[in-house]
Amino acid sequence: MKIGIFICDRYNSCAGGKCFRSMRNREGAFDVYGKDEELEIVGYTSCGGCPGGNIENAMGEMLRNGVERIHLATGFVVGYPPCPYIEYFRDFIEKKYEIPVVIGTHPIPRKYYVTHEKLGTWDSEEWKDMIKPSLSDERIRESYD
């Protein structure tokens, strides 16, 4: 499976350690892939900053590299506030490029989970669906703090 990852631009200097770790361990949003399924990152870049101008630009290169699935990194949902464009990014990529999009990469770190629970950020059914791939269990969330 050839994967492209977009990260939120507020984390543009992120080296991807948690994303790559979760891919290797098949945790968070990567737990849907079998342990024997070969995964290859064919693109890793930021959205370019609000409102996400690099989403369209970078897709061209990812497509040339054979991308089969896009992951919108967990940072899009755990930031304060979460990305207001995340649904648009998902819908745009899926409709324009016909590439499936997964919201999330690494498990949501416990510290972010606790804060967003207090804030009520993810109380709606829509948000519960969006964070589900990255939710994991308490033990795994804590290991990503």
pLDDT tens-digit profile of 53-78? 999 999 999 999 999 999 999 999 99
Amino acid at 87: E
Q: Which letter does DSSP use for residue 6 in this model?
A: E
Which residue(s) pair with 2 in the sheet? 40
CA 28/CA 22 separation, integer angstroms = 6
For the record, the structure tokens of 24 come out as 């290797």
A 10 A CB-CB count for 40 gives 12
For the record, the structure tokens of 119 come out as 């804030």
pTM: 0.96
Quote the pLDDT of residue 139: 96
Quote the pLDDT of residue 67: 98
Total structural domains within the chain: 1
Range of the domain at 110: 2-143
Q: What is the mean pLDDT of residues 109-131?
A: 96
User: Confidence class of residue 20 from pLDDT cuts 50, 70 and 90?
Assistant: very high
Q: What is the CATH number of the domain that holds 83?
A: 3.40.50
Tokens 């648009």 locate to 88
Quote the pLDDT of residue 61: 95
Quote the pLDDT of residue 128: 95
Quote the pLDDT of residue 144: 97
Quote the pLDDT of residue 115: 96
